[in-house]
A and B are shown apart, each in its own frame.
Chain A
């Protein structure tokens, strides 16, 4: 079984809809991250969390919110989806005693906003 899972894997929605992307991990890591990837722009950090009660904005948090329901779960919400949020979204985890760049990624969610 995969250590980091994401649901859904693909989603097509319409402008203005509220969307939630979910991430679960069995690695026991405290740190979790949400990224989006766009062609030519690489991975950009949306939000990250170092513990259940810790939420931090990343490089591009506008239009997004997150919830850390438990150590193993970190959800990303788009309150009112817009077309330029069409992208590939990745969740990742890391351990605090390893280099912060050593991350484990989920398989990604491909989101299309029409």
Chain B
């Protein structure tokens, strides 16, 4: 079982919709969590960190649920430019991060 699991999608939503992705992690010792955005054939770029208290940045909200071992990303008022693959990342007691395989989002007019 992969340490970090994501629904690959694609999630196909209209502009203006609200969409949410979940990501589960298996290592209960994981301490840091992040969401990355990756456009096709481009490098991943950090979108936001995920804190225990939640984290909001404009239309994006990230949350952590330690009891159920998952993190979530909520995107409100989706834009065409939000179309991308979203990667979740966890890092446990080791010093290396573990990436999920990514969730594809397609926002259509």
Contact = CB atoms under 8 A, between A and B. Distances in A.
B90 interface: yes
A21 B105 CA distance: 31
Contact of A50 (B46, B90, B95): B95
B24 to A, nearest CB: 14
Contacts of A101: 32-34, 89-91, 97
Chain B CB within 10 A, most for which of A33, A41, A42, A106: A42
Contact of A100 (B32, B43, B87, B100): B32
Interface string A94-114: 000001111111111010000
Contacts of B45: 105
Interface of A: 33, 35, 40-43, 45, 48, 50, 58, 88, 90, 99-108, 110
14 contacts: A33-B96, A40-B101, A43-B44, A43-B87, A43-B99, A90-B44, A99-B91, A100-B91, A101-B32, A101-B90, A102-B34, A103-B46, A106-B43, A108-B41
